Structure 1
Amino acid sequence: MKSKIILSLFIVFSVMFSAQNTDQQNITKSFSAFLNQLKNKQIDQAVEGMYPKFFTVVPKDQMKMVLNMTYNNPIMKVEILSSKVNAAEKPELIDGEYFSLIDYAMRIRFNAETMNDEMRNSIKNMLVQKYGQGNVMYYKNEMAYYINAKSKAYAISKDKKNWKFLMVEKEMKSNLAKVLPKKILDTL
């Protein structure tokens, strides 16, 4: 009798752990696909993968324009060289939606060859302020910055199947406050 109870508890915990792991694996897989869309400069597809409520604050066309200016700009060529999802938290149900915090990293190349020295220094200061001193390297022979960017995003879903994403950056906090629940904002 005791062994049946222990076996039953083991099975219940195994199923619960497996479901939690599956959610996190699905989030990781979906977010990796989203990052690959950015890497491959598939801006329209990437924007479709973003959290729709964010477009009540920043219109979808404006977001497409910003991303195109970032990733398809011939003057400032920005390329995502690689990306990696480090972790996705267990989804938490808040106000009818599931939220999972994602910790991820990207290696970015920022071409600065068309800029003068003053502009390069200004860009370097901005990048160092955003990513930290040890995460920004300038290679004079390439006239390019290499950035190790560690960031966070939220995966959001109503059904734990179709995930949408929202990047979490300090400079966006006022906009995020308009679309994220207070419980999530308090953790930022």
Structure 2
Amino acid sequence: MTLLKKQLVTLCLLCISVVSYSQDYKSEIKTQFNDYLDAITSMDFNKSMDYVSEDLFKIIPRDQMVRVMEQTFNTPGIEFKLEDAKIHEVNDAEKIEGKFYAMLQYSNVMFMKINAQDDENEDETEEEKAESQELQLSLTKMALQQTFGENNVKYDEKTQFFEIYAEKQAYAISPNGKDNWNFIVVEKNQKAFLERLLPKVLTDKI
């Protein structure tokens, strides 16, 4: 085998090795993040914390995070359902300050229903109650559209559920770039908080 052929064979083997490594760690990220999404969808918030960056618990204790999640999804008068969580893309990982970070894009669908409260004003007529409910639904829809986009919010008058499609981002974080990935969900309106968890080079992109 000539020297040129040897060099070409070596180059091909290196390329195959790099592609294989890329697929391996990205597959690991997808597997672990899907486990995280499954825990959130089934509302097993304690289990979901197993996949969250430990750095978060230095700011907010784990048990407090679980309570916040439970309180949020068990708000009196509001029903929540989460469905159809999907990972769309995992970007290449980069090493920053001794850790590996990979941005991923994902989406889910949230269903939300506002139920009538037992302590409604009994002095109101049925017509007044209907008008009050219609106003509440209108204001809720407007707020959801401002947050998630007008085309991403639908209201089903038959089931009385809002259907909200949300595209999100998260950072997968690993000490070695191969496994033990955990995650931080990125919300633009929480940039100041994320600056305590992520390197500046990453938060500058938010």
Q: TM-score per shorter chain, which class?
A: over 0.9
The answer to whether residue 161 in structure 2 is matched with residue 144 in structure 1 is yes
Q: Which amino acid aligns with 2:198?
A: L
Report if the CA contact (8 A) 2:101-2:171 is conserved: yes
Q: 2:196 aligns with which of 156, 178, 185?
A: 178
CA RMSD of aligned residues (A): 1.6
2:175 is aligned, of 149, 158, 162, to: 158
- Between the aligned partners of 1:64 and 1:172, the Cα distance in structure 2 is 19
CA distance in 2 between counterparts of 1:122 and 1:161 reads: 44
1:92-111 equivalences in 2 (<5 Å): 92-111=94-113
Equivalent residue number for residue 69 of structure 1: 71
Give the TM-score taking structure 1 as reference length. Answer: 0.93
Q: Is the deviation greater in 102-111 or in 120-129?
A: 120-129
Q: Determine helix, strand or coil for the equivalent of 2:92.
A: coil
- 1:74 offset after TM fit, Å? 5.2
**1:128 and 2:145 correspond:** yes
Question: Do the aligned partners of 1:113 and 1:144 also contact (CA within 8 Å) in 2?
Answer: no
Q: Which runs of 5+ in 2 are unaligned?
A: 118-132
Native 8 Å contact 1:109 1:147 kept in 2:
yes
1:77 aligned counterpart, secondary structure: strand
Q: Give the deviation of 1:69 after TM superposition.
A: 2.2
Matched residue of 2:78: which SS? Answer: coil
| 1:126-154 deviation per Cα after TM superposition (whole angstroms, max 9, x unaligned) | 21111100000011111110011100011
Hey, what's the Cα distance between the residues in 1 that align with 2:66 and 2:110? 20
What is the TM-score when the length of structure 2 is the normalising length? 0.85
What percent of counterpart residues are identical? 25
User: 1:14 and 1:164 mapped to 2: Cα distance?
Assistant: 27
- What is the SS of the residue equivalent to 1:19? helix
Task: Determine if contact 1:80/1:108 at 8 Å carries over to the other structure.
Answer: yes
Query: Which deviates more, 84-93 or 50-59?
Result: 50-59
Matched, 1:52 2:54: yes
Greater CA drift, 26-35 or 51-60? 51-60
